[in-house]
């Protein structure tokens, strides 16, 4: 089967503008067809859920696979950032917290820029074999098990001071409807067929692996020989079953085009090579259902209750569900979709950068604009594992080091291209040196040295009455003028770690400037004190996405107006842009000693 397709073109802002071309590709048919129950009863389901669905079919959705014009999102759509949804088969760990924090930073940064309608989605993945088995082991009803563990992830989002607008659960009825509709549309376009499937299956990863992606291994605890995934190290078992398949192989060229675009789809780009190699080596069609006799806990295939929808197809659609999918005809451009940013761990790159765009391409839906990938947290350079007992409880860490202490450490030290090592001593070191000794000490010294006169220095600056600037004063002022745009560029390039480190360089350089200038010995310290106050004010604004609580406290100590949001927006990081702060400044402790420092 061959067809004429539209060639994808991607602009710098990440939107997918499709142009027609003569490019053609072949969609392979199943080599083995096994009769399952009725493959498609979509019309009944569509009528029952969406009265507009039949009309949408009349307007151009063909029954054969095709490649058409993708919908271009409206210019004013909200910035939309997501975390992965987290499995509820076990308690959350520090890796979950890290993903949440990075996504929250990216959302809060957009709000800082003035995109106040930016949205953050997080939630829980509550279907699949792992959860079914975990509930059985816990001796609980599966839904009750999901409810219990979901509340733990909701509590973590709250404890981490996440500014999430939505918390989705894949057991939500609206999500179930969206997944079944998504399936029906894939099937209606001819991208789903039935076939016998054999391969290496990982219960832990909930996916099949081809022979090239598994290897022999010895279980370190028992010495037992086993086969494991090369990618994740999780055990696999040989499985043979009849189920539904998605024509993933049809999207090889389009996926490769996506990875070659000028504005990188995957950040950091170091992850792109492995994805490209995997796609170039050949894509196998993807098994997207499991026999219900083996997997009952999931969303049934529409019209065939002998099969359960593959948990990753189910899970990925969550990003669409909260954006309002299924979109009524003519309303495709009125939602937050496409996602501007998916934040994911490196272990789920294939699902988000191969399977997910292919699913969306099949339905001519706009692709997410960027996928930000991060590394894992290790302990003593070893992967955290429940079996070795080196898993960090994020609730205990937040209680011990404070929510902003943990947010700062994770963002400042966490790896994007590489893994990062976790140790309580590292957090204590950074807390004492960078937060207490850096921001906290500088704030205390500045307010103390001003002796109640800080407001007068700011008034003098506004009326151009400061003493003549020394070369050191001008150098410091230039640094303050240049740093916010540099931070903004790093955030635009999806590098929050470097952006935070650049922001903290303001504090480091200001401490050195303050110490060298010795304003307490100078008869006219006004310009020095103004520069130092501006350093704290600018840093406080830039730190808001990273440490929302402590940055608020810092700006409060400086008496930056709270009633006028523009005083704390990114535009206010311009040197000298706020002539109104500093009235009634009093000393305060930003970073008190930790309760335990061993």
* 215/227 Cα distance (integer angstroms): 6
Is the pLDDT at 62 greater than 90? The verdict is no
pLDDT at 365: 96
Q: Which residue has the higher pLDDT, 456 or 225?
A: 456
Which pTM was predicted?
A: 0.84
pLDDT at 238: 81
Q: Which residue has the higher pLDDT, 427 or 562?
A: 427
* Mean of per-residue pLDDT scores for the chain: 87
For 43-57, 63-77, 142-156, 210-224, which range has the lowest pLDDT when averaged over its residues? 43-57
3-state helix, strand, coil in the chain (%, to 5): 45, 15, 35
* 83/97 Cα distance (integer angstroms): 10
> Phi then psi for 110, rounded to 5 degrees?
-65, -40
549 contacts 161 by C-beta, under 8 angstroms:
yes
Percent of the chain with pLDDT over 70: 86
pLDDT at 597: 57
**At CB < 8 A and 24+ separation, what contacts does 326-335 make?**
326/50, 326/53, 326/177, 326/178, 326/181, 326/182, 328/50, 328/52, 328/56, 329/52, 329/55, 329/56, 329/59, 332/71, 333/71, 333/72, 333/73, 333/74, 333/77, 334/74, 335/77
Beta bridge partners of 122: 167
Q: Which residue has the higher pLDDT, 453 or 549?
A: 549
Is the pLDDT at 31 greater than 80? The verdict is no
Q: Which two tokens stand for residue 440?
A: 């906290």
Is the pLDDT at 17 greater than 60? The verdict is no
Is the pLDDT at 436 greater than 90? The verdict is yes
Q: Which helix (H) or strand (E) holds 534?
A: helix 526-542
190 contacts 65 by C-beta, under 8 angstroms:
yes
Provide the terminal-to-terminal Cα distance of the chain, rounded to the nearest Å.
68
User: Which pLDDT band holds residue 75 (cuts at 50, 70, 90)?
Assistant: low
For 77-81, 202-206, 442-446, which range has the lowest pLDDT when averaged over its residues? 202-206
User: Which pLDDT band holds residue 224 (cuts at 50, 70, 90)?
Assistant: confident
pLDDT at 447: 96
CATH topology match: 80-186+295-383 vs 428-572: no
pLDDT at 63: 33
* 142/296 Cα distance (integer angstroms): 10
Is the pLDDT at 592 greater than 90? The verdict is yes
User: Which pLDDT band holds residue 26 (cuts at 50, 70, 90)?
Assistant: very low
Q: Which CATH superfamily is domain 428-572 in?
A: Isoleucyl-tRNA Synthetase; Domain 1 (1.10.730.10)
pLDDT tens across 102-113, in order? Answer: 999 999 999 999
* 554/362 Cα distance (integer angstroms): 50
> Residue 419, Cα to own-chain centre: how many angstroms?
16
Q: Indicate the domain borders of the chain.
A: 80-186+295-383, 192-246, 428-572
Block residue for tokens 């009863």: 41
pLDDT at 27: 33
Instruction: Supply the DSSP symbol for 11.
Output: -
* 317/105 Cα distance (integer angstroms): 23
Is the pLDDT at 49 greater than 80? The verdict is no
* 272/284 Cα distance (integer angstroms): 19
pLDDT tens across 165-208, in order? Answer: 999 999 999 999 999 999 999 999 999 999 987 778 887 776 77
Q: Which CATH architecture has domain 80-186+295-383?
A: 3-Layer(aba) Sandwich (3.40)
CA nearest 455: which of 592, 358, 586, 354? 586
User: Which pLDDT band holds residue 386 (cuts at 50, 70, 90)?
Assistant: low
For 214-223, 435-444, 560-569, which range has the lowest pLDDT when averaged over its residues? 214-223
Q: How far is CA 496 from CA 167, 252, 256, 484, 546, in A?
A: 23, 32, 27, 13, 9
Q: Which residue has the higher pLDDT, 122 or 61?
A: 122
pLDDT tens across 241-290, in order? Answer: 889 999 999 999 999 999 999 999 999 999 999 999 999 998 999 999 99
* 200/223 Cα distance (integer angstroms): 21
> Residue 473, Cα to own-chain centre: how many angstroms?
40
339 contacts 369 by C-beta, under 8 angstroms:
yes
CA nearest 68: which of 359, 329, 363? 363
Q: How far is CA 285 from CA 3, 32, 208, in A?
A: 19, 13, 11
* 186/55 Cα distance (integer angstroms): 17
Average pLDDT over residues 70-84: 73
């Amino acid at each position: 089967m061959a067809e004429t397709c539209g060639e994808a073109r991607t602009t710098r802002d990440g939107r997918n503008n499709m142009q027609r071309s003569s490019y053609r590709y072949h969609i392979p048919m199943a080599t083995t067809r096994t009769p399952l129950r009725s493959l498609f009863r979509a019309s009944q389901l569509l009528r029952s859920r969406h009265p507009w669905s039949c009309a949408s079919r009349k307007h151009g959705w063909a029954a054969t696979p095709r490649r058409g014009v993708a919908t271009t999102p409206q210019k004013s759509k909200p910035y939309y950032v997501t975390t992965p949804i987290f499995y509820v088969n076990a308690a959350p760990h520090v890796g979950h917290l890290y993903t949440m924090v990075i996504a929250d930073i990216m959302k809060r940064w957009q709000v800082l820029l003035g995109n106040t309608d930016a949205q953050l989605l997080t939630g829980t993945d509550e279907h699949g074999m792992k959860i079914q088995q975990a509930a059985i082991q816990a001796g609980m009803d599966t839904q009750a098990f999901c409810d219990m563990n979901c509340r733990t992830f909701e509590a973590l989002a709250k404890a981490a001071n996440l500014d999430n607008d939505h918390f989705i659960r894949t057991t939500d009825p609206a999500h179930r409807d969206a997944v079944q509709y998504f399936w029906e549309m894939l099937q209606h376009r001819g991208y789903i067929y039935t076939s016998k499937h054999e391969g290496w299956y990982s219960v832990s990863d909930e996916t099949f692996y081809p022979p090239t992606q598994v290897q022999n291994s010895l279980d370190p605890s028992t010495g037992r020989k086993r086969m494991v995934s090369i990618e994740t190290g999780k055990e696999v078992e040989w499985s043979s079953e009849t189920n539904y398949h998605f024509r993933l192989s049809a999207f090889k060229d389009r996926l490769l085009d996506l990875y070659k675009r000028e504005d990188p789809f995957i950040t950091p780009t170091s992850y792109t090579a492995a994805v490209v190699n995997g796609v170039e080596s050949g894509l196998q069609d993807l098994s997207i259902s499991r026999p219900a006799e083996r997997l009952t806990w999931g969303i049934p295939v529409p019209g065939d209750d002998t099969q359960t929808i593959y948990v990753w197809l189910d899970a990925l659609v969550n990003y669409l569900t909260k954006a309002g999918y299924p979109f009524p005809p003519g309303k495709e451009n009125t939602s937050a979709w496409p996602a501007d940013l998916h934040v994911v761990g490196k272990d789920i790159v294939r699902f988000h950068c191969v399977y997910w765009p292919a699913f969306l391409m099949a339905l001519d839906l706009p692709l997410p604009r960027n996928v930000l990938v991060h590394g894992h947290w290790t302990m003593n350079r070893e992967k955290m594992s429940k079996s070795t007992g080196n898993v960090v409880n994020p609730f205990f860490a937040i209680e011990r080091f404070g929510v902003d202490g943990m947010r700062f450490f994770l963002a400042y030290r966490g790896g994007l291209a590489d893994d990062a090592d976790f140790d309580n001593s590292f957090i204590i070191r950074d807390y004492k040196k960078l937060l207490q000794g850096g921001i906290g000490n500088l704030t205390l010294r500045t307010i103390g040295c001003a002796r109640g006169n800080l407001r007068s220095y700011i008034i003098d600056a506004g009326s151009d009455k400061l003493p003549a600037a020394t070369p050191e004063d001008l150098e410091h002022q230039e640094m303050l003028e240049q740093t916010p745009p540099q931070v903004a560029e790093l955030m635009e390039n999806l590098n929050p770690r470097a952006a935070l480190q650049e922001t903290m360089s303001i504090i480091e350089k200001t401490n050195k400037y303050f110490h060298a200038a010795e304003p307490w010995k100078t008869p006219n310290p006004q310009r020095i004190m103004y520069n130092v106050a501006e350093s704290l004010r600018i840093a406080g604004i830039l730190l808001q996405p990273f440490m929302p609580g402590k940055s608020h406290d810092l700006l409060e100590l400086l008496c930056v107006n709270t009633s006028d949001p523009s005083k704390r927006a990114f535009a206010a990081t311009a040197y000298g842009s706020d002539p109104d702060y500093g009235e009634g400044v009093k000393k305060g402790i930003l970073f008190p000693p930790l309760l335990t420092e061993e």
